[in-house]
Structure 1
Amino acid sequence: MNQVSKSYPGVKALESVSLTGFTGEVLAICGANGAGKSTLAKILAGQEPATSGSVSVTGYDSEIRSPSDAEEAGILLMHQEPLIVEDFTVEENVWLSRLNSAGRSKPWNLLPRVSKGQTVQALSAVGLEGVHPQRLAHELGPGLRQMLALSRTQVNAHRILLLDETTASTTEDHFKDVLALVDRERAAGVSIIFVSHRMDEVFAMADRIAVLRNGELIDLVNTAETTPEEVLTLMIGDAVQAMDAPAPVSEAAEEMLEVERLTSGAATDISFTIRAGEVLGIYGLVGSGRSSIARSISGNQTRDSGSVKVRGIPVTAKSPGEAARHKIAYLTEDRRREGFVPDFTNGMNMTLAVPGRFSRFGVINVRKERARVKQLIKQFQVKGGGDTLTRTLSGGNQQKVIIAKWLETDPDVIVLDEPTKGIDVGARLNIYQIIRTLAASGKSILVITSEAEEALMLCNRVLTLKEGRIVGEFTPATSTTDDLIRSSLGGETA
C-alpha cells in the first residue's frame, strides 16, 4: 500500500497509509473502534476504491481496484461476518466461489466435480471434521459458520490471505485451528494480513504489528520487541486502566428479576435472582446453556418449565415485544443478524422498538424523532449521524445503537448476551461504562459472557454453568479467572 487515503462524506477513514507485506509473514493490523482497520482490508481486497494512493502486488501488473483484480492477483479475503448462504449445504458453502450453472442441463446441480473426500479434507483443515457436508448452513452457530467460511482457504488458490476480524466469533478450541491454518499458510509462503483487536491472538500469530489510530498509521513494530500493553497504548492514546471490580449489591435492594427452576434448550433447572442495581454474570463454555437462559427469559425461546418474575409479577413472554412490555430488554449475541435492520439508518434503528412514541395514526413525526435521535447519538457517542446506515458502522458503534434502541423501552431488566463480542478494547471499555451507569440508575442487568476476565471486571456476582446447570457462584473480590474456568470445566476451585 502506497500513501493510501480513503474519505467518505464527512469522514476521513484513512490518511496516507503505506504498508508492505512479505511472503511467509503475518502482519497484524490493530486499532481501536473506527481506526480504519476494516476500511484498509476492503481496499486491499478491491472492495472499496482508495480516494488516493495505490495498492500493488508483486507479479501482478495492474493496481488492485476491484474484487476481480484482487482475485487475479491472488488475494483472498475472509470477512468478520462470514459470507454464508444459509439455505445451501455445508458442502455448497465450501465451494461457493466455484458454483456455476452456466451450460448445465440441470442448473440446480451447481457443485463442480469434486469428491466428498475433498470437501471433508477442507472441513477437517479448520476443525470441522465432525460436521456433515450435507447439513444445512443455517443450522450452524456463529463460531462454526466462521470456520466454514475459513474452509474456503483450502479450495481457493491465493498468495495473500486477509483475515478481517475472523476470530471474533470463534471459540478457544477453534482459534487453535485458525492458528494451525495460519502456520500452514505461512510455511507455504503466503502473506497473511490479520486485522484484529484481540491482543492474545495478535501476539500468538503475528510477526509484525501495524497500529492505526483515527485513520493514520501510528507505528509499525516487531511483535517480539513489544508488549500487549504498549500496543494498546498506541491504539487508544493512553494506557489502559483496569476497572475496579464491583462490590456486591446490598441484600436490602429490591429483587427485580427472579428466575426459578427454568428449563429451556440446553439449560436445565436454573434458579437465580438479580437485585436492583446489580450486574449478574453467567459464565460458561460454548454449549453450556448460556444463551438458552438469555433467550428464554426475553421471549426469544420457549421455556419448557420454570418461572420468570419481574418485581414479583410472573412473565410468560412469547416474543421480544411482549417481554419489552414486561420491562425486559434483550441484546442478542448475533447483532448483525438479529440486532438491527441492515438497511435502516441509525435513527430508524434507535427508534425501532418504540414506533408509537413518534407517530400518530401511523404517521411518523419526523421532527420529533430526529430530535430524540440527535440526543441518543450524543449520549452514546455513536459515530456518524442519525442518517448513517447502521451496517456501515464498526461493531462497537453498532452495539451502542442497539443498546440505545432497547433502552428507549425503559426496561427494568436488561439481558446482554456477549455484549462485547467482536468489539475492540476502546469501545469495550465504553460499553462497560454504559452498563455500570445503567446499574447505578437502578437497572438489573444479566450479562452472558464466555470471557472470564470480563465477567470478573463487570459483574457484582458471577454464576458458572456446566452442561446446562449452575455449578458455582463467585464474587470478583475473592475470585480469579482460573476459578471460573475450573468451575465451568467441572474441576475444583482453589
Structure 2
Amino acid sequence: MLTHATTLRDLHTADREPLVQVRDAVKTYGPTKALSGVTLDVHSGEVFGVVGHNGAGKSTLMRVLSGLDAIDSGSVQINGVTRPFGNGFPGVRMAYQEGSLALELTVCENIYLSSHSWIPDRRWHGPAARRAARRLDEIFPGHGISPADYVDDLPLADRQMVEISRATIADDLSLLILDEPTESLSGSAVDHLYDYVRRLRAKGHAIILVSHRLREILSVCDRVAVMKDGAVVSTHAAGSVTEQDLFLAMGGEVVSDKEGVGARPTATDTARPVSVKVPMATVEGAATQIVARKGEVIGLAGIAGQGQQRVLDRLWCRNPDVEVSQALAYVPGDRQRSGILPIWDVARNLTITTLPKLGKNGIRDADKEASLVAEWVDRLKISGGANAAITGLSGGNQQKVIVARAFASDADTILLDDPFRGVDVHTKAELYQLIKSEARKGRTIVWYSSENSEMQHCDRAYVLRADRIAGELHGPQITDERIISLSFAEAREARA
C-alpha cells in the first residue's frame, strides 16, 4: 500500500508532461542487445531509482539519456528535445560510476572543462575555483578538497565527490543522473549527498539514481524501475516495495545465497598455521595484531578510511613488521585505475600473473593458457568469452576477470580491497561462493569491504577505527549492528 507522501507526489506529477520520455528504445553493440525496448517516464521534482544486475542495461540507458550514445530505434525526448546536441541533451548532467575526470589536471581545471559554457574563457581560473569550492562545500561540508589539488593525488572517495560536484555545476540543470554515486563514499558523505539530492528535488529538478544499494534507493527515491535483460520489467512506488521485492523482480538468485550464509564453515581451529600477522593497537592503546590462519576469510570492517586499506598496503608491500606468505595476489577496488589492462582482451588480462606457471624455460604454452582461461571464463560465467575486449564488458564482468586473475594464480594469500564496489547482487553472490570455495582449499583471504553486510561472509572480522582495532567479531557476531556499534562507540562515549 502506498504511503501518504508517495500518493501525494504521484498525484502531483500525474497531470504534468514528463521531463523524460523513453519509448521502445533499442540499442545494440555488435551481437549484444544492450537495450531491448525500454519505456519509461521521469518527471521534474522526483528522484527516480533504477536497479538491476550488471548487464541489465542501466549504464547504457544512462549514456543514451546523457546524449553520449544514440539508440537504434524507438524514441527519447528530454525537455521536449528528441536529438542531443554536440554536448548532449540540454540541461542533462551525469556523474559517472567509473569517473570521467582528467587525472592529470586539477579540480579547478576539470570544472572548467565541463562548464566552460557558464564560465568566461578569459581569466577563468578564479571563477572555476570559486564554483568548485562553493559546490563542494554545499554538497559535502568538511570535504577537505582544494580546487588546486591534482585529481590523480586524491583518494577515490574525494575524486567521487569532485565527479558529483562537477556534474551539478550547470546553469540550466534540469536532470541529474547519478550512476552508482555512493560506492566510494563514507557514511557521512552519503548522507550529505542525499540531503543535497532532496534539496534539488524540492527545487523541481529531476534526479535519476542508479545504485545496487537497495536500502538507499528506497530511502531517497519516489519511484523505482527494475531493469532486466535490457528492458524495464517493472516500476514501483518506493513506499510500496521492500528490498526483497526488488531482489525478486531482478531475478531472485541472491535469496538462496543469503539463506546459506549461516551454514558456512568457520575456521576457528587454532592448530591451523598462521598465514598473516599485522601488528596493530587497540583503540585503548594496547598492543595487539591482526591474525589470519590458513583457510580463513578475515574481514577488515568499519567506516571507510579508518585504516583498512593501509593494512592491505602493509601486506602487499611486505612491510618489515608484518608476516605474510611469499605468494600473494591482490584484487584492487579501483578497477579502472589499478585493475584492468584496457588494451588487452579478457584472456590476456586473466593470465598476466600466471604466465610463469603456464610455460617452460621461458616459452609460453598456448594450450595451457587457453585451458586456464576457458576454465575461469566458464566458472565465473564471464560474458563475452576469452577474446572479448576488456573495456567492452560491464563493470561486473570486468571485476570477475580481475578476481579470476588473482585466484588463478598460485597465491596462498589473497588480498581484496573493496572488490565488489559497484557490482550487482547476482555477481556478488557468485564471487562470495568462489571466496568460500577457495578458502576451503586452504587459501587465506583478507578482505576489506565498505559494505558491512559483506563482512557476514567472513569467519572473523576486525573492526578498525582511526588505524586501530575497535573490536574483533566471530561468525554470527558479525552483524551490521555490531560493526556500527564498534565503529561509533568512541563518539558515543565522548558525547556522554
Q: Give the alignment of 1:325-474 within 5 angstroms.
A: 326-358=326-358, 366-455=366-455, 457-474=456-473
- In structure 2, the residue matched to 1:2 is 23
Q: Deviations over 1:143-186 (max 9, x none)?
A: 11111111124422321111111222111111112112211221
- In structure 1, the residue matched to 2:178 is 163
Cα separation, 2, equivalents of 1:332 and 1:239: 24
The secondary structure found in structure 2 opposite 1:489 is helix
2:111 to 94, 98, 102: 94
The secondary structure found in structure 2 opposite 1:429 is helix
After superposition, the Cα gap between the structure-2 partners of 1:332 and 1:59, relative to the gap in structure 1 and judged at 3 Å, is same
- 1:127 Cα deviation (Å)? 0.8
**Contact map agreement 1:163 1:194 (CA 8 A) in 2:** yes
- 1:113 Cα deviation (Å)? 5.6
Cα separation, 2, equivalents of 1:287 and 1:376: 32
Q: Would you say how many aligned residue pairs link Structure 1 and Structure 2?
A: 462
The secondary structure found in structure 1 opposite 2:40 is coil
The secondary structure found in structure 1 opposite 2:41 is coil
Cα separation, 2, equivalents of 1:439 and 1:195: 33
Q: Deviations over 1:282-338 (max 9, x none)?
A: 112223110011111112xx73x513143xxxxxxxxxxxxxxx2111111212211
- 1:415 Cα deviation (Å)? 1.1
Cα separation, 1, equivalents of 2:188 and 2:24: 38
- In structure 2, the residue matched to 1:12 is 33
- In structure 2, the residue matched to 1:76 is 93
Cα separation, 2, equivalents of 1:252 and 1:467: 29
- In structure 2, the residue matched to 1:317 is none
CA RMSD of superposed structures (Å): 2.7
**Contact map agreement 1:329 1:413 (CA 8 A) in 2:** yes
- In structure 1, the residue matched to 2:229 is 214
The secondary structure found in structure 2 opposite 1:348 is helix
The secondary structure found in structure 2 opposite 1:286 is coil
**Contact map agreement 1:269 1:306 (CA 8 A) in 2:** no
* Counterpart AA for 2:124: L
Cα separation, 2, equivalents of 1:422 and 1:120: 27
Cα separation, 1, equivalents of 2:59 and 2:474: 37
- 1:272 Cα deviation (Å)? 2.6
After superposition, the Cα gap between the structure-2 partners of 1:39 and 1:119, relative to the gap in structure 1 and judged at 3 Å, is closer
* Counterpart AA for 1:292: R
1:274 to 292, 301, 310: 292
- In structure 2, the residue matched to 1:22 is 43
Cα separation, 2, equivalents of 1:460 and 1:49: 48
> Unaligned 5+ residue runs, structure 1?
311-325
Cα separation, 1, equivalents of 2:76 and 2:361: 54
* Counterpart AA for 1:369: E
**Contact map agreement 2:254 2:426 (CA 8 A) in 1:** no
After superposition, the Cα gap between the structure-2 partners of 1:23 and 1:361, relative to the gap in structure 1 and judged at 3 Å, is same
After superposition, the Cα gap between the structure-2 partners of 1:451 and 1:69, relative to the gap in structure 1 and judged at 3 Å, is closer
After superposition, the Cα gap between the structure-2 partners of 1:405 and 1:14, relative to the gap in structure 1 and judged at 3 Å, is same
After superposition, the Cα gap between the structure-2 partners of 1:350 and 1:338, relative to the gap in structure 1 and judged at 3 Å, is same
Cα separation, 2, equivalents of 1:392 and 1:110: 40
Matched, 1:149 2:158: no
- 1:231 Cα deviation (Å)? 0.9
* Counterpart AA for 2:399: Q
2:138 to 125, 129, 135: 125
2:102 to 85, 88, 110: 85
Cα separation, 2, equivalents of 1:120 and 1:250: 50
After superposition, the Cα gap between the structure-2 partners of 1:236 and 1:368, relative to the gap in structure 1 and judged at 3 Å, is same
Cα separation, 1, equivalents of 2:87 and 2:422: 28
- In structure 1, the residue matched to 2:485 is 486
- 1:345 Cα deviation (Å)? 1.1
**Contact map agreement 1:269 1:469 (CA 8 A) in 2:** no
The secondary structure found in structure 1 opposite 2:158 is helix
Identity of paired residues, percent? 29
Cα separation, 1, equivalents of 2:116 and 2:385: 40
Q: Give the alignment of 1:306-317 within 5 angstroms.
A: 306-310=321-325
* Counterpart AA for 1:424: D
- 1:212 Cα deviation (Å)? 0.8
- 1:10 Cα deviation (Å)? 2.8
- In structure 2, the residue matched to 1:233 is 248
**Contact map agreement 1:256 1:444 (CA 8 A) in 2:** no
Q: Give the alignment of 1:166-181 within 5 angstroms.
A: 166-181=181-196
Q: Deviations over 1:343-369 (max 9, x none)?
A: 221111001112344567877555543
**Contact map agreement 2:97 2:179 (CA 8 A) in 1:** yes
* Counterpart AA for 2:146: H
Cα separation, 2, equivalents of 1:159 and 1:363: 58
The secondary structure found in structure 1 opposite 2:162 is helix
The secondary structure found in structure 2 opposite 1:197 is coil
* Structure (1/2) with the larger helix percentage: 2
* Counterpart AA for 1:275: R
> Unaligned 5+ residue runs, structure 2?
1-21
- In structure 2, the residue matched to 1:257 is 275
Cα separation, 1, equivalents of 2:113 and 2:198: 24
- 1:439 Cα deviation (Å)? 0.8
Cα separation, 1, equivalents of 2:76 and 2:386: 33
